[in-house]
């Protein structure tokens, strides 16, 4: 049985972009493949403070992060769906250390995300954890023999590192210890994202909608009041072309609105594009999308409020037992191979 695995970081308030680009695709994959694959959706909470955060909020954010999965429609009670915290499965940290010794300083230094974050002037403390981030991520994946890893574009380089480390390790010890995850091209096909899904910033639509963007108007947060979100859509940056068309290069703002409208209503993008083809009122389109977003948020927030902490804790207790079993089996195998345990 194959494993589909992904982790979503929770130390910032998730945006509509995260919801449409990460949560929703994963939940659809879970519905599509849950009968014959394990669906591991975990919270990489040890990754949360590779850059400085407010630690007094972290515990709450993790519990809320799990509620977000469930409110988004993940059936957490399905037998093959596993929700767990990275920090509660110590094998992640232990395998990370072992893999550190099979990862070269050079390849870790080439990671774009590390280069960007370590040179960001807002980041006043560049930790070894930030440097080591992709190796822990490799451990997250390889412990479970996961093959499909739904990810955002900015994470593909980390996936490539996980593949390279797995291949190197298997080759060195002449055994198929780790399943080598699918290539980037295969992952994209699996996620049905050949057309490149990326929800854009509302104020600078050439860029992606980012939860770390300090300009609150650039993003819809999942905890925005519906009226507030609706205002943000109404003031979204568009263009001066004057006709509604899907054209990410020349009309990224309008295209972004069409994309949001399609995804939120679970309609094929082509249908939404045809509905609006040739129309000229950007105001009408914005009102329609604003309305869709406001309805969606009201609904989502109601579902979220209905999930109590006890439900989450019960799911975690069960699934973390499972995750520890699977992960420890792999860790022990690795420990035998590298000589830490009797062969």
Which are the catalytic amino acids? 117, 208, 211
Helix (H) or strand (E) holding 284, with range, is helix 282-305
Least CB distance from residue 96 to ligand TRP, whole Å?
Answer: 11
CB 103 within 8 A of CB 137: no
Among 200, 148, 152, 143, smallest CA distance to 29 is for 148
Residue 21 binds ligand TRP, judged by CB under 6 A: no
CB 234 within 8 A of CB 286: yes
Q: Which of 16, 135, 151, 326 binds ligand TRP (CB under 6 A)?
A: 151
Least CB distance from residue 276 to ligand TRP, whole Å?
Answer: 32
Q: Which of 6, 15, 37, 221 binds ligand TRP (CB under 6 A)?
A: 6
Least CB distance from residue 103 to ligand TRP, whole Å?
Answer: 15
Residue 45 binds ligand TRP, judged by CB under 6 A: no
Q: How far apart are CA 221 and CA 235, in angstroms?
A: 15
Instruction: Report how many residues bind ligand TRP under the rule CB under 6 A.
Output: 13
Token code pair at residue 110: 């080439």
Residue 330 binds ligand TRP, judged by CB under 6 A: no
> Which range of residues in 6-14, 164-172, 212-220, 329-337 is near ligand TRP by CB under 6 A?
6-14
Residue 137 binds ligand TRP, judged by CB under 6 A: yes
Helix (H, G, I), strand (E, B) or coil at 235: coil
User: Which residue's Cβ lies closest to ligand TRP?
Assistant: 7
The CB density around residue 319, as the number of other CB atoms within 10 Å, is 22
Helix (H, G, I), strand (E, B) or coil at 328: helix
Smaller CB separation from ligand TRP, 137 or 188: 137
Please state, in angstroms and as integers, the Cα–Cα distance from residue 38 to each residue in 93, 148, 149, 279, following that order: 22, 10, 12, 45
Buried b / exposed e across 221-257, counting CB within 10 Å, b at 16+?
bbebebeebbebbeebbbbeeeebbbebeebbbbbbb
Smaller CB separation from ligand TRP, 51 or 256: 51
Smaller CB separation from ligand TRP, 140 or 145: 140
Tell which positions 72-101 bind ligand TRP, by CB under 6 A: none
Q: Which of 11, 48, 50, 155 binds ligand TRP (CB under 6 A)?
A: 155
Residue 141 binds ligand TRP, judged by CB under 6 A: yes
Q: Which of 38, 47, 200, 286 binds ligand TRP (CB under 6 A)?
A: 47
Helix axes 156-173, 128-142, angle to 10 degrees: 70
Residues forming contacts to ligand TRP in the complex (CB under 6 A) are 5-7, 9, 44, 47, 137, 140-141, 149, 151-152, 155
């Amino acid at each position: 049985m194959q494993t589909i695995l992904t982790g979503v970081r929770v130390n910032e308030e998730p945006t509509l972009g995260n919801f449409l680009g990460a949560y929703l695709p994963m939940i659809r994959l879970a519905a599509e493949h849950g009968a014959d694959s394990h669906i591991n959706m975990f919270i990489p909470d040890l990754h949360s403070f590779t850059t400085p955060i407010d630690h007094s909020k972290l515990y709450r954010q993790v519990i809320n992060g799990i509620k977000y999965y469930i409110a988004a429609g993940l059936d957490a009670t399905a037998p093959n769906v596993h929700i767990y915290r990275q920090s509660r499965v110590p094998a992640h940290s232990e395998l990370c250390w072992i893999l550190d010794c099979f990862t070269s300083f050079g390849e870790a230094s080439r990671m774009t995300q590390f280069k960007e974050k370590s040179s960001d002037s807002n980041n006043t403390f560049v930790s070894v954890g930030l440097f080591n981030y992709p190796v822990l991520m490799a451990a997250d994946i390889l412990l479970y023999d996961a093959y499909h890893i739904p990810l955002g574009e900015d994470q593909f380089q980390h996936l490539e590192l996980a593949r390279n480390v797995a291949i190197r390790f298997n080759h060195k010890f002449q055994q198929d210890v780790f399943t080598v995850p699918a290539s980037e091209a295969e992952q994209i096909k699996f996620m049905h994202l050949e057309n490149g899904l990326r929800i854009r910033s509302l104020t600078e639509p050439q860029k992606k909608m980012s939860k770390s963007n300090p300009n609150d108007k650039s993003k819809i947060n999942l905890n925005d009041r519906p009226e507030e979100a609706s205002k943000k859509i109404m003031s979204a940056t568009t263009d001066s072309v004057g006709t509604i068309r899907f054209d990410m290069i020349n009309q990224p703002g309008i295209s972004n609105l069409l994309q949001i409208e399609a995804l939120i209503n679970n309609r094929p993008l082509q249908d939404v594009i045809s509905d609006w083809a040739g129309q000229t009122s950007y105001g009408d389109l914005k009102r329609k999308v604003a309305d869709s977003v406001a309805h969606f948020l009201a609904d989502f927030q109601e579902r979220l409020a209905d999930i109590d902490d006890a439900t989450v804790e019960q799911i975690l207790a069960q699934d973390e037992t499972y995750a520890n079993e699977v992960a420890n089996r792999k860790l022990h195998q690795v420990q035998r191979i590298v000589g830490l345990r009797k062969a």
